[in-house]
Amino acid sequence: MSGIALHIRQIKDSLPAGVRLVAVSKTHPASRIQEAYDAGQRIFGESRPQEFAQKAALLPPDIEWHFIGHLQTNKVKQVVGVASLIHAVDSERLLLEIEKEAAKRDLIVPCLLQVHIAAEEAKFGFSADEIQHLFAQNFFSNTPHVQLAGLMGMATNTDDHKQVSREFRGLKQLFDQIKRTCFTNNTSFCELSMGMSGDYRIAIDEGSTLVRIGTAIFGGR
């Protein structure tokens, strides 16, 4: 068994029911993704639109591609129609651009709203207040081709596990509040994408449904 296959098996065996693995394959060649595919992995995460489209054209058609990086509005055309899920929708402008492109193609595009939960200013995302304001203003009535599938967040890059837990827990509380008040009878709002190679176990404990793991599978870039 190859190293990639072994890592995938070990991680999947550790995941509880209801939690799915997104193998973060960005910057890795198609041959290594194929190796992971042959080991049974079907969900892969990419963050560079051109690279993303090229790999999708080369690899098996039953792969579920997730776009997990910061998406610029002028790159939306390269992602809509290829991505099964866009994780990091971080602005109203981006939401409207995805809506515009999806409407042209008569598609419904599942998306996660990225929430800024980390202490680092460099990370993207809405604040919790901004998210609540979007719902209060009925913003999503303007984006019928965007299917809100849940929330996404990245915790602070720190060895303080208590801080990471607090940040993930706050995101889960926001998710639960939105689910309860806006999606009571709508099962499409169901995903909470949080946790990477260094903190995915904490994220699972706090309610993650999608963990984005790259280094622990493919090694360093």
Tens digits of per-residue pLDDT, 151-165?
Answer: 999 999 999 999 999
- Confidence at residue 1, expressed as pLDDT on a 0 to 100 scale: 60
Mean pLDDT of 17-29: 95
Residue type for position 189:
F
Which residues, at least 6 apart from 160, have a Cβ–Cβ distance to it below 8 Å? none
> How many residues are recorded in the chain?
221
Mean pLDDT of 20-49: 96
Domain spans in the chain, listed from the N-terminal domain onward? 3-218
Work out the percent of the chain whose per-residue pLDDT is above 90: 94
- Confidence at residue 2, expressed as pLDDT on a 0 to 100 scale: 74
Q: What are phi and psi of 194, to 5 degrees?
A: -155, 140
Max Cα distance, the chain (Å): 53
Is residue 221 over pLDDT 70? no
Q: What is the pLDDT of residues 61-111, one digit of tens each?
A: 999 999 999 999 999 999 999 999 999 999 999 999 999 999 999 999 999
- Confidence at residue 124, expressed as pLDDT on a 0 to 100 scale: 86
CATH 3.40.50.300 fits 3-218, yes or no: no
- Confidence at residue 121, expressed as pLDDT on a 0 to 100 scale: 75
DSSP 115: B
Is residue 33 over pLDDT 70? yes
Distances (CA, A) of 89 to 46, 48, 78, 98: 14, 14, 15, 9
Which residues, at least 6 apart from 218, have a Cβ–Cβ distance to it below 8 Å? 4, 23, 24, 25, 28, 32, 36
Q: Which helix (H) or strand (E) holds 31?
A: helix 30-38
DSSP 14: H
Give how far the C-alpha of residue 174 lies from the chain's centroid of Cα atoms, to the nearest Å: 16
Mean pLDDT of 166-176: 98
